[in-house]
C-alpha cells in the first residue's frame, strides 16, 4: 500500500475523503435525498504537521458537508503523528486514537468529552494544567482511557480529572509523578506497569483508586498522597530489592526537590508507603497480603536506623531500633517465618547449653567431636530447651561453678525469646 503523508490539514481531510464511499440509498417522493457512508475516521496516514484539535471551522464544515450529516471528526486508526499534537477540545466530540504512534508530544489542556487511546506508543504525554470533564458531571464527560499504551515521558503536574481515568495494561517507561494531580472520580491502574519510580506527590485521590495487578519495577511513593476516598490494592508487584530510595539526611529544599522534580523517593517516604499498604490490608482483614509489607516496613526502618547511627543522629533511638529489629530479623524474619524462629531457638539454645555444661564436672571443653559425649549430652540438651528446667538437671552429684549459672540463666532468656518468636510467626495469619 502506498504511503500517505499529510503535510497540512487540507491533505489530511483529502485522504479521509478518499477512504469514504458515500451512497444514495433512497429518493423519497418529497425529493429529499438520503445518504449512507462508511466513514470510520482517519486511517493509516502519516501526519507530518502540528495537529491542533479541534480543527478550524472551515475544515470541520468541509467534513460535515462531505457526509451531509454531523460527524465525530477525531478518530484516528494506525496513524503516525510526526509532529506535536495539541488538544484543547471544549466541544462534545470525543477523541479516539487506536494503534497510533505519537513521535513528539501529545499535549492536552482541555478535554470536555472523552479521550481514548488504545494500543498507542507515545513519546511524551503532557497533561500539565489540563482539565478533563466538567465539575458536577463526573459520570458522563471527561473520561480518560489509556489502554495497552506505551508511554515514554509524562507530565501530570496540576492535572484535574473530573471523570473516570483508566490506565489498563499500559506501560510507563520513565519516572511518573502525579504532582498535585486531582483524581476526583475513579482511577484504575489495572495491570499497569511502571518501569521506573511512580510518585503521588500531593495527589488527591478522591472517589476510588484501584491498583489491581499493578507492577512497580522500581519504587512507589504514596506517603504524600491525600487519600479521601477508597484505596483498593490487590495483587500488586513491588520488589523491595529493586526499590531504591534516598537514605541520607535531606534539607527541606532537597526533600522538596526530590519528591517534586527529581522523582526520587526518600527512605522515610518508602517506609511510610509500606505502612500505608500494610494498614490498608489489615483494615480489610487481609492479613496474608499485609505480611510482606510489614516485613519491608521493618527492614526499611532497620536500614534507616543504621544510616542515622553512622551520622550520629538520634543515637539512642537509632541504636534501640537496630537492637530490637536486628533480633527480630534473625529470630523470625520480622514475624514472617516460624521455621527461622525454630532454627533460631535450636541454635541459640545449643550455644548456651554448650557454654554452660563445660562449666560443670560432667563435661569439659574439647577441640574435637566426641560422639559418645555428644550422644550422652543430647538428652540434657532437650531438657535445656525447656526454659523452666531445674539447675540440677545434669544430676545431683555434678559440681557446678558460677559461670554455669550465668550461661544457664542467659540461655533460658534466649530460648524463651526464641519460642515466643516462633509462636508469633505461627500466628502471622491470625
Q: Could you please report the per-residue DSSP string of 259-291?
A: IIII---BHHHHHHHHHHHHHHHHHTT-HHHHH
pLDDT at 176: 98
pLDDT one digit per residue (tens) for the chain, 430 residues: 578 999 999 999 898 888 877 666 666 555 555 554 556 788 999 999 999 998 888 888 888 887 677 777 788 999 999 999 999 877 777 889 999 999 999 999 987 888 999 999 999 999 999 999 887 655 567 899 999 999 999 999 999 999 999 999 999 999 999 999 999 999 999 999 999 999 999 999 999 999 999 999 999 999 999 999 999 999 999 999 999 899 889 999 999 999 999 999 999 999 999 999 999 999 998 988 999 999 999 999 999 999 888 888 888 998 999 999 999 999 999 888 999 999 999 999 999 998 998 888 876 666 656 666 667 778 888 999 999 998 888 888 888 889 989 999 999 999 999 999 999 988 877 6
Beta strands of 235-378 (E only): which ranges? 237-238
pLDDT at 369: 61
φ/ψ of 302, rounded to 5, equals -60, -50
Q: Could you tell me the residue ranges of all domains in the chain?
A: 45-57+70-304, 338-429
Contact of 219 with 247, CB cutoff 8 Å: no
Q: What whole-number distance in Å separates Cα of residue 88 and Cα of residue 168?
A: 24
- Of 54, 148, 144, the closest CA to residue 99 belongs to 148
pLDDT at 38: 54
Amino acid at each position: 500500500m502506498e504511503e500517505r503523508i499529510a503535510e497540512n490539514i487540507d491533505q489530511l481531510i483529502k485522504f479521509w475523503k478518499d477512504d469514504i464511499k458515500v451512497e444514495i440509498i433512497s429518493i423519497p417522493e418529497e425529493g429529499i435525498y438520503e445518504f449512507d457512508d462508511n466513514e470510520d475516521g482517519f486511517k493509516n496516514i502519516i501526519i507530518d504537521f502540528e495537529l491542533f484539535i479541534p480543527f478550524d471551522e472551515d475544515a470541520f464544515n468541509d467534513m460535515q458537508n462531505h457526509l451531509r450529516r454531523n460527524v465525530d471528526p477525531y478518530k484516528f486508526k494506525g496513524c503516525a503523528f510526526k509532529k506535536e499534537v495539541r488538544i484543547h477540545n471544549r466541544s462534545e466530540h470525543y477523541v479516539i486514537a487506536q494503534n497510533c504512534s505519537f513521535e513528539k508530544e501529545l499535549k492536552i489542556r482541555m478535554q470536555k468529552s472523552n479521550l481514548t487511546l488504545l494500543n498507542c506508543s507515545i513519546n511524551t504525554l503532557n497533561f500539565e494544567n489540563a482539565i478533563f470533564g466538567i465539575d458536577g458531571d463526573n459520570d458522563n464527560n471527561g473520561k480518560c482511557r489509556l489502554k495497552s499504551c506505551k508511554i515514554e515521558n509524562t507530565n501530570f503536574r496540576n492535572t484535574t480529572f473530573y471523570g473516570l481515568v483508566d490506565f489498563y495494561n499500559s506501560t510507563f517507561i520513565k519516572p511518573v509523578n502525579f504532582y498535585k494531580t486531582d483524581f476526583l472520580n475513579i482511577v484504575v491502574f489495572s495491570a499497569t506497569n511502571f518501569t521506573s519510580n511512580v510518585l503521588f506527590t500531593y495527589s488527591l485521590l478522591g472517589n476510588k483508586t484501584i491498583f489491581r495487578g499493578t507492577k512497580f519495577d522500581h519504587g512507589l511513593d504514596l506517603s504524600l498522597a491525600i487519600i479521601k476516598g477508597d484505596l483498593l490494592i490487590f495483587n500488586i508487584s513491588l520488589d523491595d530489592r529493586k526499590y531504591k530510595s534516598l537514605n541520607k539526611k535531606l534539607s527541606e529544599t532537597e526533600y522538596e526537590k526530590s519528591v517534586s522534580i527529581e522523582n526520587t523517593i526518600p527512605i522515610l517516604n518508602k517506609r511510610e508507603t509500606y505502612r500505608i499498604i500494610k494498614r490498608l490490608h489489615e483494615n480489610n482483614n487481609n492479613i496474608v497480603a499485609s505480611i510482606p509489607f510489614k516485613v519491608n516496613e521493618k527492614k526499611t526502618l532497620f536500614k534507616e536506623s543504621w544510616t542515622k547511627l553512622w551520622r550520629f543522629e538520634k543515637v539512642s533511638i537509632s541504636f534501640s531500633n537496630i537492637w530490637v529489629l536486628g533480633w527480630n530479623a534473625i529470630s523470625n524474619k520480622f514475624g514472617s517465618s516460624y521455621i527461622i524462629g525454630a532454627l533460631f531457638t535450636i541454635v541459640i539454645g545449643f550455644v548456651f547449653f554448650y557454654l554452660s555444661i563445660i562449666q560443670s564436672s560432667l563435661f569439659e571443653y574439647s577441640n574435637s567431636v566426641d560422639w559418645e559425649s555428644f550422644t550422652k549430652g543430647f538428652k540434657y540438651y532437650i531438657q535445656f530447651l525447656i526454659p523452666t528446667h531445674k539447675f540440677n538437671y545434669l544430676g545431683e552429684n555434678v559440681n557446678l561453678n558460677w559461670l554455669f549459672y550465668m550461661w544457664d540463666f542467659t540461655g533460658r532468656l534466649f530460648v524463651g525469646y526464641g519460642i515466643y518468636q516462633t509462636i508469633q510467626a505461627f500466628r502471622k495469619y491470625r
